Amino acid sequence: AQSVTQPDIHITVSEGASLELRCNYSYGATPYLFWYVQSPGQGLQLLLKYFSGDTLVQGIKGFEAEFKRSQSSFNLRKPSVHWSDAAEYFCAVGASDYKLSFGAGTTVTVRA
């Protein structure tokens, strides 16, 4: 069965510092991978996606992620965080043509 692991439940980072959120997946074939962000009281906003091709993908809000097949990972990075990046981040794998399987999420706190 497909699964997604986000090892870090909560990360605190200083404004202006770099951020890396980890995501590992278990999937038998080449996966479709996504990162979503959720602010309190809101739905999920798509940050970026990987379907195929270049393993380093760029997303919105200055985020990027790198697909590493050998490590079954799809880590999200941002060089310099802003206070507005405080939110919960979800990694997801396309477990089928239509069903997303989500990780448990990582909450990011940004301190001034």
Partner 1 sequence: GAGVSQSPSNKVTEKGKDVELRCDPISGHTALYWYRQSLGQGLEFLIYFQGNSAPDKSGLPSDRFSAERTGGSVSTLTIQRTQQEDSAVYLCASSVTIRQPQHFGDGTRLSIL
Binding residues vs partner 1 (CB under 8 A): 32, 34, 36, 41-46, 49, 90, 92, 94-95, 97-105
Nearer to partner 1, 31 or 78 (CB): 31
Give phi and psi for 28, each to the nearest 5: -75, -30
CB of 42 to partner 1, least distance (A): 5
Enter the tokens of residue 25: 């997946």
Closest CA to 6 of 30, 81, 52, 20: 20
What's the min distance (Å) between Cβ of 18 and partner 1?
26
Strand duo 87-94 + 24-26: pairing: unpaired
> Least CB distance from residue 45 to partner 1, whole Å?
7
Between 51 and 79, name the residue whose CB sits nearer to partner 1: 51
The residue written with tokens 């739905």 in the block is 43
Closest-CA residue to 46 (of 55, 54, 56, 37): 37
Question: Nearest approach, Cβ of 92 to partner 1 (angstroms)?
Answer: 8
To which residue do tokens 């999937």 refer?
A: 27
Cβ-based nearer residue to partner 1, 11 or 15: 11
